[in-house]
Structure 1
């Protein structure tokens, strides 16, 4: 990782293997803004394998579902609990992701909370409302906001096709109440409008392989996709072992994360192993109200 941060908030870094590590500057940038951007976290070969796994083996068609926004437009999600040994399962297990997140959250052991693919079809993909992940993970029995996620661009994720928006530093504002807005849980709208006056509203532009690592209390959203280009992103989330949820729910309780080397994805030829992942049935997911299933209009 480059030693000095760049970009408008000084929290962007370039992935440089084997020099990729969390320095004091990287940790300060994360603590100050609630996120860091790692340019080129995954190379073109790794992204190519992720795309092949998603596009050629029927997972999206079989397991994804819509989550309507407040206008009824549907982004789609594909969500599972346990990593596995295929290409998709190695992403959250590789050192450059798992160990980086561990260090950003203070060095305590993390486990894989879940992974999801977030998809917005060209011309019709819906929005994700302003929210904090902890806004609804709180309701799952996680007593502390000791969770974080990687948002990895599979396609270009830019303003035009419904890319990410964040309120820089908003993780410092604490948890905001969340309620359903359409099929999604969104942060209290009045409070978000006030927070927009305090924290910089920033549009994040990511190219395939760029990753945004962010704290679970960071307020973020994304707009609809009215462009000609789809927008797919890989999102894996972690929880601290010592923050093991106090109640059983649709995401996993503590289970040991077996890390793999940074070469594991490049070397893996197991593109799809759905057994054991435990894809989420939206009927059991209390954090969304699912819309259409694959094949439905």
Structure 2
């Protein structure tokens, strides 16, 4: 799948592209059928909502689940990101966010690159988010909200919020959000919220400011979030566990387009459990570690 000149221009201007129904119902079913068992596991890679049993985020499913390992190599997802970067990419982060009915909590206003810069020492914003809906997304079940064009601001000041939810974020101050929304059009388009059927896909810039409200509806809003990074832009510090911020910078090799419907073989290095190395962290940049060795 190649992006058109018009799509490239739109991405540059607004910071995101929306592809309703990018994946067909049968392809989505392959993924959704695997989610309950993954969420049931009592593993470090399942982060649960604060004070609840509902899963907020499942990390690194592509390392131990065949359907998600194939999704991580899907040309309809990887190809457009390579078009935007004109470079091979690796998987920096893989999440299945479970904003569950009645229990899914808020995601505060933030830029993902703010976290990748502050925690992982990713050199530049040459990394991309891909969101794939596993449920229908409507105005009631906590859809993503974007501030169009906010990526043009570059990296903005953020504070480390360790208390609001169970997962810490580098969040953006309300005053700056108000300024960015006003600059983007205020009540006339200053905030947008792509909604659509399961299988829809969003590409969005790592500096695009975004958030989502809690899910008070009776409908789940589960989505896969893949963060692909240009190989030359790989992270420089392993402050976070490997199941959150990956350390294998090997370029992704795409599978055929029907890979969610056919059992193409994939490597599952964590199929039998998390290795001890996946939990190890270091505050020291790995370039310094190599020099010390």
| TM-score (norm. length: structure 1) | 0.79
| 1:137 matches 2:116 | yes
Q: What secondary structure sits across from 2:159 in the alignment?
A: strand
Change (3 A) 1:150 1:114: same
1:125 corresponds to: 104
Runs of 5+ unmatched residues, structure 1 = 1-19, 287-297
1:217 corresponds to: 207
The 8 Å contact of residues 118 and 234 in structure 1, kept in 2 or not, is answered as: yes
Change (3 A) 1:86 1:75: closer
Q: What secondary structure sits across from 1:268 in the alignment?
A: coil
1:1-40, aligned counterparts within 5 Å? 20-40=1-21
Q: 237-246 or 58-67: which moved more?
A: 58-67
1:252 corresponds to: 246
The 8 Å contact of residues 87 and 271 in structure 1, kept in 2 or not, is answered as: no
Change (3 A) 1:283 1:195: farther
**CA deviation after TM superposition for structure 1 residue 84, in Å:** 6.0
| Cα deviation 1:24-49 (Å, max 9, x = unaligned) | 11111111110101122111111000
Greater than 6 Å deviation, 4+ residue runs = 72-75, 269-272, 279-286
Number of residue pairs matched?
Answer: 263
1:17 corresponds to: none
| 1:159 matches 2:139 | yes
1:93 corresponds to: 73
CA distance in 2, matches of 1:65, 1:78: 6
2:194 corresponds to: 204
1:170 corresponds to: 150
| 1:66 matches 2:48 | yes
| Cα deviation 1:211-269 (Å, max 9, x = unaligned) | 00111001111011111111101111111111122223431231231211111111128
| Cα deviation 1:94-121 (Å, max 9, x = unaligned) | 111111111022x111111121011122
Runs of 5+ unmatched residues, structure 2 = 185-189, 284-293
The 8 Å contact of residues 80 and 277 in structure 1, kept in 2 or not, is answered as: no
1:275 corresponds to: 271
| TM-score (norm. length: structure 2) | 0.80
| 1:76 matches 2:56 | yes
1:194 corresponds to: 179
The 8 Å contact of residues 81 and 278 in structure 1, kept in 2 or not, is answered as: no
